Structure 1
Amino acid sequence: MKIVTFLVSGTAATVVAMSSIGVAFAYDDLPKPPPPPEDWVQPPKQSENSVTQDVESQIAQRFTAATNGNPNGLLSRQQAKAAGWGLVSDHFSEIDRAGTGYVRLDDVLRFMSERTPQRIMRMKNVTKQDQRQ
């Protein structure tokens, strides 16, 4: 009787194992995506520098739009708020370190660069290293 029970339980385990193998291959019939067009070129991989340049370009465009087309102009808190640039209007006093009531594009770029994820991660790593010492 013990041998029969062992064989039955072994057979049941084999059936369960085989049924899970079928599940692993159950998605082979999904349609494959079409190939890319012949003239398609793989875009270059992004680097930290290329992402930084893209972000700075977008900030410059937004600054120019908020200052009515003047990229070398001055931006007030009210202009930033009217342009829907909440981050700048909310942190205006931090950006305007001189307290003049206006900021330049360089001030906004400096403020933004101090808050990049890469810089924050570097600061956290330095803090962790200091705590270990």
Structure 2
Amino acid sequence: MKNVNVLVTGIVVAVVVALGHGAVFAYDDLPVPPPPPEGWVPPPRQSENSVTRNVESQIRQRFTAATGGNPNGLLSQQQAKAAGWGFVSDHFSEIDRAGTGYVRLDDVLQFMSERTPQRIMRMKNAPNLNQ
């Protein structure tokens, strides 16, 4: 009986070892991505400033489109809604701090910049001045 137990244990160990090695090589048949084309240069790393510039550029473009091509114009809540700019439409009363019914590009940019993840993280990590 003892020989049978040793034999069964040996078979179980052999199967486990074989399965373990199979798992290591399980994905060897996946295709390897091709090398980058000749002359390809990786894009520059993004920084907080470059992301901010890109976001501001997109906001300027949306504002200009929503005001009918006038980047120095005034935007109403109805124009923002008609342009599909739901975030600005939904938060219009917060952006229009003066309550005039219209906002300028600077108002939208200021509202957005106050809610960036970078600013929020800086505020959370800043030492509490009231202590």
When normalised by structure 2's length, the TM-score is: 0.87
Displacement of 1:99 in angstroms is 0.8
Q: Report % sequence identity.
A: 78
Aligned to 1:101: 101
- Give the C-alpha shift of residue 7 in structure 1: 4.6
Unaligned runs of 5+ in 1: none
Tell me which stretches of 4 or more aligned residues in structure 1 moved more than 4 Å.
Answer: none
The separation in 2 between residues aligned to 1:77 and 1:5, in whole angstroms, is 81
TM-superposed deviation, 1:125: 4.0
2:73 aligns to what SS in structure 1? coil
Question: Is 1:84 aligned to 2:84, yes or no?
Answer: yes
More helix by proportion, 1 or 2? 1
Give the whole-Å Cα distance in 1 for the aligned partners of 2:72 and 2:21: 65
Residue 67 (structure 1) aligns with: 67
| AA at the equivalent of 2:31 | P
Cα offset, 1:34, TM superposition: 1.5
RMSD: 1.9
What's the counterpart of residue 39 of structure 1?
39
**Aligned equivalents of 1:45, 1:4: Cα separation in 2:** 63
Post-superposition Cα deviations, 1:18-54, rounded to whole Å, max 9, x if no partner, equal 2122122021122211211112110011111111110
2:56 alignment partner AA? E
C-alpha deviation, 1:3, in angstroms = 5.2
1:57 offset after TM fit, Å?
A: 0.3
Mark the CA change 1:123 to 1:17 in structure 2 (over 3 Å): closer, same or farther: farther
Q: Deviations over 1:46-78 (max 9, x none)?
A: 111111110000000100111111111111111
Write the letter of the residue equivalent to 2:18: M
Q: Provide TM-score, normalisation by structure 1.
A: 0.85
Return the alpha-carbon distance in structure 1 between the equivalents of residues 30 and 81 of structure 2.
49
Alpha-carbon shift at residue 8 of structure 1 (Å): 2.6
* Aligned equivalents of 1:46, 1:20: Cα separation in 2: 41
Q: How many positions carry a matched residue from both structures?
A: 129
In structure 1, what is the equivalent of residue 56 of structure 2?
56
5+ residue gaps, structure 2: none
